[in-house]
Structure formats: C-alpha cells, structure tokens
C-alpha cells in the first residue's frame, strides 16, 4: 500500500486539512456528497488552497442525478472550470454523457481544453457508460489523465473484475483509479487483485454537532435525511491507514 497514492474525497476545508494530515497526496473537493458530489463554492476552493499543499482537484458537477447536461448547464461547467483554475486548483474532475450513454466527446474536449494545463479526471459518470472499454479508449484519445470508477457496480469490491480488466486494457495510457466503498478491510484485496496505483476513498467518521440547543421538529433537507446534529467529516486517522503514514511521525 505504501506505493499506492491515496486521493480523499472531501466536502470542506477542514476535511482537506485532515486528508493532508493523514498522508493523502490529493483531495477531490466537493459539495453535497449525499448526491455524489457537486461543485464546491469559490470560498471553499480558495480556503482549501490556502490551507493545504497537497494536490487539489475540484469536481465540476452542476447538480446531482444523471450526467446528460443541458446547454445552460454546460456553460455553468465551463465557468466553474475557469474559476477553479483561477483559484489555484491543480486539477478538475469532470464527466458528461450523451443520452445514449457514451462519452460526450465534443463537450468533454471543450472542458479539457479550458482546464489545461491542470490535470483532468473523468469521474464516475464512467460507471453508467454504455460500454466501458469503448469509453476508456475515448478518454485516452481525449488525453484524460485518470478515470474514477467502481467497475460499473455499486462498490469497487463488486466491480473488482472489471477494474482489473480496465487496468490491463489501459496499459498505463490512463490511470484507472477505483473509488466507491473502499475501506480498511477491503483495500488490500482491491489493490492486490487489480494492480491499481491510485485509490479514491472518503475515510469519514461521524462528528457530533456543537449545538447545545436542538430542535428535533425541524430539518433543512428532504425526507431521506441524515441526522441534523451529527455530520460526517474526513478522519485523518483513517486516511493514515490507507496512506501507510505512521502516526508516531506526525
């Protein structure tokens, strides 16, 4: 595991700092992880850049749900790529599909050209592509640096066979980075069976709210909701397990 790079998905500046403290080489900075991650605010990007020295990749996703975007949503994504670049991000994380489930080549190319020289990751839109090997070749042709995937299954462990095939097929032309359900118990098996060189984890733990006064009758979200007075945050101790960083050296 010491030779495998660890990217941590975070949704706050505090999470980014914890990922760095835990030994991650890079964070994927998001908002709204309950929907799989959407574009974070300019303030979050700015402060994360100020507080960490490791890689900072920013997800560019205007909403939850599918990855087939309108013209207006595409313009929003173009603006957000330029803004992330201006605010000091090292990379962007993008993904767009056609209605038929193929990579939206022209619009993805447009975002890549706008993002360069930043690194570009194609996110788990890949996992709902119609044909994974054709999609992988398309991303290689486009010059994408890495693809994040659970192997087109709910979790990496379930998609492990496809991930191993993708790694072999990629032949170092693109980084295949597994993400989705990786934890301390299964990470060794995943690395051993796939040969991946990077992994994507959340490494989060629950943290109680600082609120003493609590109103149990009010909730700010929808019906399927997390508890109002407990939140999930990046856990540096869990990141250390993935990164192989010795806590005694901190």
Mind listing the pLDDT tens digit for each residue in 144-189? 999 999 999 999 999 999 999 999 999 999 999 999 999 999 999 9
- Does residue 10 form part of some domain? yes
Residue 249 pLDDT exceeds 60? no
Reported as a single tens digit per residue, the pLDDT across 59-113 is: 999 999 999 999 999 999 999 999 999 999 999 999 999 999 999 999 999 999 9
- Does residue 173 form part of some domain? no
Number of domains in the chain: 1
Which helix (H) or strand (E) covers residue 109, if one does? helix 105-115
Q: What is the CATH number of the domain that holds 57?
A: 3.20.20.380
- Facing residues of 58 across strands? 29, 92
Specify whether the backbone of 54 is left (phi greater than 0), alpha (psi in -120 to 50) or beta: beta
- Does residue 88 form part of some domain? yes
Closest CA to 121 of 81, 156, 88: 81
- Total residue count of the chain as it appears in this document: 250
Closest CA to 157 of 198, 185, 133: 185
- Does residue 144 form part of some domain? no
Three-state DSSP at 153 gives coil
- Does residue 67 form part of some domain? yes
Which residues, 6 or more positions from 73, have their beta carbon under 8 angstroms from its beta carbon? 62, 63
- Does residue 40 form part of some domain? yes
If you average pLDDT over residues 5-29, what whole number do you get?
A: 97
Please state, in angstroms and rounded to a whole number, the distance separating the CA atoms of residues 117 and 10. Answer: 23
Please state, in angstroms and rounded to a whole number, the distance separating the CA atoms of residues 140 and 178. Answer: 17
Name the one residue in this structure whose structure tokens are 């299964």: 186
Reported as a single tens digit per residue, the pLDDT across 208-239 is: 889 899 888 887 765 556 665 577 788 999 99
If you average pLDDT over residues 126-135, what whole number do you get?
A: 97
C-alpha angle 159/164/168, rounded to 5°? 145
Name the one residue in this structure whose structure tokens are 């087109």: 152
Residue 6 pLDDT exceeds 60? yes
- Does residue 130 form part of some domain? no
- Does residue 82 form part of some domain? yes
Residue 117: asked if its preceding bond is cis (omega within 30°), the reply is yes
Mean pLDDT of the chain: 93
Please state, in angstroms and rounded to a whole number, the distance separating the CA atoms of residues 87 and 85. Answer: 5
Question: Could you list the residue range(s) of the whole structural domain that residue 196 is in?
Answer: 5-116+180-209+222-244
């Amino acid at each position: 595991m010491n030779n495998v790079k660890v990217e941590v998905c975070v949704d706050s500046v505090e999470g980014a700092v914890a990922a760095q403290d835990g030994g991650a080489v890079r964070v994927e900075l998001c908002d709204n992880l309950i929907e799989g991650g959407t574009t974070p605010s300019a303030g979050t990007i700015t402060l994360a850049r100020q507080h960490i020295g490791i890689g900072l990749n920013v997800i560019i996703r205007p909403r939850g749900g599918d990855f087939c975007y309108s013209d207006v949503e595409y313009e929003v994504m173009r603006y957000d790529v330029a803004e992330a670049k201006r605010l000091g991000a090292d990379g962007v994380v993008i993904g767009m599909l056609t209605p038929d489930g193929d990579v939206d080549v022209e619009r993805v190319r447009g975002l890549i050209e706008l993002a360069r020289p930043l690194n570009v990751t194609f996110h788990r839109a890949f996992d709902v592509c119609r044909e994974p090997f054709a999609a992988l070749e398309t991303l290689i042709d486009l010059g994408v640096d890495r693809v994040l995937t659970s192997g087109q299954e709910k979790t990496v462990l379930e998609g492990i066979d496809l991930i191993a095939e993708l790694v072999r097929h990629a032949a170092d032309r693109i980084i295949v980075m597994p993400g989705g359900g990786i934890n301390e118990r299964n990470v060794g098996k995943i690395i051993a069976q796939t040969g991946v060189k990077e992994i994507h984890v959340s490494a989060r733990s629950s943290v109680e709210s600082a609120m003493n006064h609590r109103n149990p009758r009010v909730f700010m979200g929808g019906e399927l909701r997390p508890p109002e007075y407990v939140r999930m945050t990046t856990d540096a101790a869990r990141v250390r397990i993935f990164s192989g960083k010795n806590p005694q050296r901190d």
